[in-house]
């Protein structure tokens, strides 16, 4: 395996099969210290001031991240328990020339033990697991932090997939975090699809950003179940313009499901309240896919249910409203106007709430599939 000096003077290895480096060529040691140490382990120490911290590493490689964890645990006189997955372990002959012991200022014996697969002292209880991320026996809610250090998506796309991220979230404790050097938009969306809250944070030298994904724990959190009507007739869809605390917004008519009624009855009741006439609720169009945190209260997660709905009889309400009607300081709070929008020109992003945007996207997709 070929050695290569990186920009901060530390060394990395080149993997000939995948034609990738084990670390950032902008600085291997700097990447390890920033991405996994400062943004991962230090945060975990702060979150959990006592007891040992469990690190699950995906890709032990040369073991540099584990050495950084040893240094950090020693500095604060704590212990980390590390399980590192590695289906293709490197040998001491591969790792020795990197000079990691001198670089990280760790006794050479510790480095050797890590490469051999097991090391225990007062700061580190390390075990290598010789299996890949999908095959390894992992424990539910074991890890405080996941060091996600797979080769880049271009080299190993299967590592950055939804099933892998599902498994990582399952392996994390509530409130735990996964850190990775990668900042790609589609990786971020994959993590969100798996239920992570993802933040783009400043990256190591040479890389503007990195990702940190949190398994959000909200013991006080509540679901807010809402039901909406999607009324389409004559090439137009019924929308509601409302004056809300954040300004004038466009949304679907409907609202919160009340105790004792189902979403279908809620839509019929909302129609009586908002439209002043009855409706027939038809097929289910869409149920929220994403976790939509309420714009009004971040302890509430909106689960929106949109049904195709039709008016019973002709329109019996004022239906000439526009967004202009609910804009401006003079409009009283909660004022509502109803209006129609042409389905051919209405875009998901025209809706204010992400849950409505999802539902209108679903309506458009359904129409396109016909
Ligand atoms: C970017 S390197 C890791 C660098 C390492 N953390 C270090 O400090 O040197 C990626 C590692 O992931 C390993 N890997 C490949 N497939 C894997 C899988 N399915 N599960 C876990 N690790 C895997 C590779 O063998 C490689 O050692």
- 248 neighbors 303 (Cβ within 8 angstroms): no
Question: Are 209 and 237 part of one and the same domain?
Answer: no
Question: Are 135 and 162 part of one and the same domain?
Answer: yes
Q: What is the pLDDT of residue 330?
A: 85
Question: Are 239 and 207 part of one and the same domain?
Answer: no
Number of structural domains (the chain) is 2
Which pTM does this prediction carry?
A: 0.88
Separation of CA 176 and ligand 1 centre (Å)? 21
CA of 12, closest atom in ligand 1: 9
Question: Are 161 and 207 part of one and the same domain?
Answer: yes
Question: Are 120 and 159 part of one and the same domain?
Answer: yes
Question: Are 240 and 109 part of one and the same domain?
Answer: no
Q: Is the CB–ligand 1 distance for residue 18 below 6 Å? A: no
CA of 159, closest atom in ligand 1: 19
**Which H or E element spans position 265?**
helix 263-270
Separation of CA 276 and ligand 1 centre (Å)? 62
Cα–Cα distance measured from residue 3 to residue 43, given in angstroms and rounded to the nearest whole number: 32
Question: Are 149 and 80 part of one and the same domain?
Answer: yes
Cα–Cα distance measured from residue 144 to residue 8, given in angstroms and rounded to the nearest whole number: 29
Average pLDDT, the chain: 96
Q: What is the pLDDT of residue 13?
A: 97
**Residue that finishes a domain, picked among 161, 184, 214:** 214
Q: What is the pLDDT of residue 279?
A: 98
Q: List the CATH number of the domain containing 113.
A: 3.40.50.150
Q: What is the pLDDT of residue 171?
A: 98
Q: What is the pLDDT of residue 329?
A: 78
Question: Are 227 and 362 part of one and the same domain?
Answer: yes
- 94 neighbors 11 (Cβ within 8 angstroms): no
Q: Is the CB–ligand 1 distance for residue 37 below 6 Å? A: no
Q: List the CATH number of the domain containing 313.
A: 3.90.79.10
Question: Are 208 and 256 part of one and the same domain?
Answer: no
Separation of CA 189 and ligand 1 centre (Å)? 22
How would you label 80-101 residue by residue, b for 16+ Cβ within 10 Å and e otherwise?
Answer: bbbbbbbeebbeeebbeebebb
First-to-last alpha carbon distance for the chain, in angstroms, is 55
Question: Are 193 and 323 part of one and the same domain?
Answer: no
Structure-token match 């073991």, residue found: 63
Q: Is the CB–ligand 1 distance for residue 150 below 6 Å? A: yes
Separation of CA 87 and ligand 1 centre (Å)? 8
E-only strand ranges, the chain: 2-5, 11-15, 20-21, 53-58, 80-85, 118-120, 124-129, 143-148, 172-180, 197-202, 209-214, 222-233, 236-244, 247-251, 254-256, 279-287, 292-293, 300-311, 336-342
pLDDT in tens, 97-153: 999 999 999 999 999 999 999 999 999 999 999 999 999 999 999 999 999 999 999
Pocket test for ligand 1, best of 59, 90, 99, 168 (most atoms within 8 A of CB): 59
- 356 neighbors 223 (Cβ within 8 angstroms): no
Pocket test for ligand 1, best of 63, 150, 160, 167 (most atoms within 8 A of CB): 150
Q: Is the CB–ligand 1 distance for residue 61 below 6 Å? A: yes
Separation of CA 28 and ligand 1 centre (Å)? 14
Q: What is the pLDDT of residue 102?
A: 97
Query: Which residue's alpha carbon is at the smallest distance from atom 17 of ligand 1?
Result: 132
Question: Are 93 and 155 part of one and the same domain?
Answer: yes
Q: What is the pLDDT of residue 1?
A: 85
Residues of the chain with pLDDT below 50 are none
- 237 neighbors 308 (Cβ within 8 angstroms): no
Max CA separation in the chain (angstroms): 83
* Distance from the Cα of residue 57 to its chain's centroid: 18
Owning domain of residue 82: 2-214
Question: Are 266 and 341 part of one and the same domain?
Answer: yes
């Amino acid at each position: 395996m070929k050695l290569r000096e990186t920009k901060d003077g530390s060394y990395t290895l080149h993997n000939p099969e995948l034609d990738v480096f084990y670390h950032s060529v902008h600085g291997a040691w700097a990447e390890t210290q920033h991405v996994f140490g400062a943004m991962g382990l230090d945060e975990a120490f702060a979150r959990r001031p006592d007891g040992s911290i469990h690190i699950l590493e995906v890709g032990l490689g040369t073991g540099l991240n584990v050495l950084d964890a040893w240094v950090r645990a020693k500095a604060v006189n704590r212990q980390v328990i590390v399980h590192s997955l590695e289906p293709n372990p490197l040998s001491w002959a591969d790792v020795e020339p990197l000079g990691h012991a001198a670089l990280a200022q760790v006794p050479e014996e510790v480095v050797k033990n890590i490469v051999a697969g097991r090391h225990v002292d007062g700061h580190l209880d390390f075990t290598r697991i010789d299996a890949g991320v999908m095959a390894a026996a992992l424990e539910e809610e074991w890890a405080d932090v996941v060091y996600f250090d797979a080769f880049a998506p271009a080299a190993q796309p299967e590592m950055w997939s939804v099933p892998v991220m599902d498994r990582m979230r399952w392996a994390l404790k509530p409130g735990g975090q996964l850190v990775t050097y990668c900042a790609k938009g589609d990786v971020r969306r994959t993590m969100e699809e798996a239920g992570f809250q993802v933040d783009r944070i400043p990256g190591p030298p040479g890389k503007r950003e990195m990702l940190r994904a949190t398994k959000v724990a909200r013991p006080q959190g509540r679901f807010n179940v809402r039901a909406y009507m999607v009324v389409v007739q004559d090439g137009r869809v019924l929308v509601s313009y409302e004056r809300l605390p954040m300004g004038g917004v466009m949304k679907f008519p409907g609202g919160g499901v009340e105790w004792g009624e189902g979403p279908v009855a809620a839509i019929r009741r909302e129609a009586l309240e908002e439209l002043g006439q009855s409706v027939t609720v038809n097929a289910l169009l869409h149920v929220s896919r994403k976790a939509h945190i309420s714009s009004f209260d971040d302890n509430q997660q909106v689960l929106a249910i949109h049904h195709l709905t039709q008016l019973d009889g002709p329109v019996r309400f004022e239906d000439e409203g526009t967004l202009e009607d609910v804009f401006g300081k003079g409009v009283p709070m909660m004022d509502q106007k109803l209006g129609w929008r042409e389905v051919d020109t209405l875009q998901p992003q025209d809706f204010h709430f992400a849950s409505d945007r999802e539902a209108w996207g679903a309506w458009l997709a359904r129409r396109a599939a016909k």
